[in-house]
Chain A
Amino acid sequence: MKKRKWTAVRVLIIVFLLISVIFPLVGVMTHISLEDAKKIVSSESFGSVVLHSLAVTGIATVISVALAFVLAWCLNRTGIKGKGIFAVLFTVPMLIPSVSHGTGLVLLLGDNGLLTNMLGIRVNLYGYLGMVAGWVLYSFPVAFLMLMDSFQYEDYTAYEAAQVLGLGKWEQFRTITVPNLKKTLISTVFATFTLIFTDYGVPLVVGGKVMTLSLYMYREVVGLLDFSKGAIIGILLLIPAVAAFLMDLRNDDGGNVSTVTRQYVIGKNRKRDAAAYAVCAAVVVAVCLPIGAFAFLSVVKQYPIDLSFSLDHIGEAFLLGVGRYLENSLAMALATSFLGVAVIYFTAYLTARSRKTFTTMTLHLISMISLAIPGIVLGLSYVLFFKSTFFYGTILMLILVNTIHFFASPYLMAYNSLCKFNENLEDVSETLGIGKLRMLLDVYLPCTRKTVVEMFSYIFVNCMVTISAVSFLANFRDMPLALLIPRFDSQSLVEATALIALVILAVNGIMKLAVFVLERRMEDPEKGKS
């Protein structure tokens, strides 16, 4: 009977995920009209939109991944100090919405930008240059985190063997490092490409006359309410994401197993370290400059005419509703984080700590599928699927779409943590008469508190910065703060957009700090004693 109950719970979650993931997606497919598809494909601009999208995304991806690789190498293979601080600073761009990376560039290098005026330079920001720069800032932290992880799992014994064989540093890098990181590198390239390809925030601000597919979709749906066209473009945007997902699935060889027998030993090399310092410092400057610009523009009277200190812009922004929309964002982010952590952790518990049956495998697969659905496609699918339900247009809709949008990564965090436990724990508990729920509450949750906190923070931060899935679903009253940036940007309220970026950064910074303190407290003082 007990077993039946658990199967029923599993089936219930599968039904929930079918309704909130699979059916809406199928809904998008059914919404496509062949005539519209023909019209779009045969239109004059379509070819150039696709070409521009692929080209600019490709360039940004290559630069972003290369930069991330260099940074990960600096932090893992050189003797520089302050690696922890560098690692934190490199991920700061993840704490602001993508659209803010565009506005940051405009504030610095636009026609009236801080650097433009200060250095007397003039760059043609709008177009390829702005998009590539904005997207590199937006995406390199994600690539960096993916690569950092892999660098840490390299076994030094291979390098020792190479040294014995007399291979030089370059040969070692070519024959050991690169092959070791190849799989991660390919995954990183795909993930970064998808991230950039489906973002409309950066091109919205600095795209100039260059149109990308994601921006095209955003304009068609938000501006012209043309859902059919939106659906067709949505399907195109799905392609790289699905390809990346399938490839990761194929490459998945239980990456949890570490074969490291010896940690990498970093030799002394001053020149190498100096170069690493220079690269890291340059990136930190590039990351901090837009944030500095946000702060500066928020507190001067009127740039560039009157540079005296003033809180007028802050007051104005709050008059325009920044406070209210911040409340919306906080409510949505907190509710999504609580709901998300509960549902996602429980789902991971069911899949990680149960026998691999058809039901658990199906649940596992559906749980990861959100990795393959770009936010704007998910948002559009929700518009089409839930339009006539009672909670459409409410904050509940936003909570649901964000829970699904950010489902996969925290799911994998929980799944991987739970898989690390002793494989016989369930057998023992079953023979001792300890139920599954009790095991969850008394053993697994206390042991994985850190993972739970990280899941919470991941969902919270992403909810604060997201402008994708929510963009088609939020109404003017309930919309989150980040969506105010494109609105203010279109009204040329530059200072207000700067302030919003700063507010979101501050909220996320506080969340990250709280997580850091909490995790430190959670560290078992007995750990390490024997």
Chain B
Amino acid sequence: MAVQNNAVKLKVNHIHKTYDGKVILGDISFEVMDGEFLAVLGLSGCGKTTLLRILIGLERQDSGTIYRGGEEISSLAPDKRGMGIVFQNYALFPNMTVLGNVEYALKRKKETAATARKTAVHTLEQLGMGEHLDKKPRQLSGGQQQRVAIARTLAMKPDIILLDEPISALDVTNREIMKRELKEIQKKFHTTMIFITHEQEEAFYLADRIMVMSEGRIEQLDTPERIFSHPANAYVEEFVVAHLEQKYQSLLRCTGRMEKRGGH
């Protein structure tokens, strides 16, 4: 567990959101610890992306409060909340180079050109993108583009990074590589991360704690081990435990067959 201390980094109190009379988020409350990797797991339409957008201020909640550290940030503009976001589709500036993409926001933050350049290059190098500084996004693979998007966010030194299904658009091989890298990045930069996913395996691999959501509610928030051993209700049992067990069983069957073959 990468949690650094017991300080609460993010506190969400009774967030409620409706669209056209339909409840999207119903009275959501939770805490995220400093340096923690929290995965928000749920099917599409369960409200996880809306939650993320509310946390960073791209959408407003109907009621409820959000605290970062001890400071209330519920009504601050997105760029004043000390958070960064990485999207599934990278959202890089297509006309700028890799370096330009990372540098641009830093310059707009009134950093001097020299400092911005230094920070951008340093961050990109740490993410293994040092050789691609002058390339345009379209010249990069999906995984590389995602690294640039992460570097762009990291360079701004946010307290919390929100990741909206950041590896779903990648192919299977790159997805595995990126999963490992995300863990390393978190360790290297000591950031608190909130990761949205609909893939049970991803959540179990990456997260210190998992928040299972369904229909705008939190079904369970606990460590992967506890969720597996003590699912809070039938939904978690079915959606998480049964799903993983089924996969595990089929894997076992495969391995069993392989062993038999090997035995001949």
Contact = CB atoms under 8 A, between A and B. Distances in A.
B93 A425 contact: yes
B91 A526 contact: no
A433 B58 contact: no
Contact of B83 (A423, A431, A443): A431
Given A422-B89, A425-B91, A430-B78, A442 B104 contact: yes
A5 interface: no
Interface residues on chain B, size class: 20 to 34
Interface in B91-113: 91-96, 104-105, 108-109
A433 B56 contact: no
Contacts of B104: 434, 442
B136 interface: yes
A446 B95 contact: yes
Contacts of B78: 427, 430-431
B138 to A, nearest CB: 8
Contact of B94 (A427, A447, A530): A447
A431 B56 contact: yes
A424 B87 contact: yes
Given A438-B108, A526-B139, A529-B139, A432 B79 contact: yes
Interface string B123-148: 00000000000001011000000000
Nearest to A448: B95
Given A434-B105, A529-B139, A427 B87 contact: yes
B58 to A, nearest CB: 5
Contacts of B56: 431
B91 A431 contact: no
B145 to A, nearest CB: 11
Contacts, number: 66
A424 B146 CA distance: 14
Contact of B58 (A423, A431, A432, A443): A431
A428 interface: yes
Interface string A123-142: 00000000000000000000
A427 B90 CA distance: 11
Nearest to A2: B77
B262 to A, nearest CB: 42
Interface of A: 2, 421-425, 427-428, 430-434, 438, 442-443, 446-447, 524, 526-527, 529-530
6 A-B pairs closest in CB distance? A433-B79, A424-B91, A432-B105, A424-B87, A431-B78, A428-B91
29 contacts: A422-B89, A425-B91, A425-B93, A427-B53, A427-B58, A427-B85, A427-B87, A428-B87, A428-B91, A430-B77, A430-B79, A431-B56, A431-B57, A431-B58, A431-B78, A431-B79, A431-B83, A432-B84, A432-B152, A433-B80, A433-B108, A433-B109, A434-B104, A434-B105, A434-B108, A443-B95, A447-B94, A447-B95, A524-B136
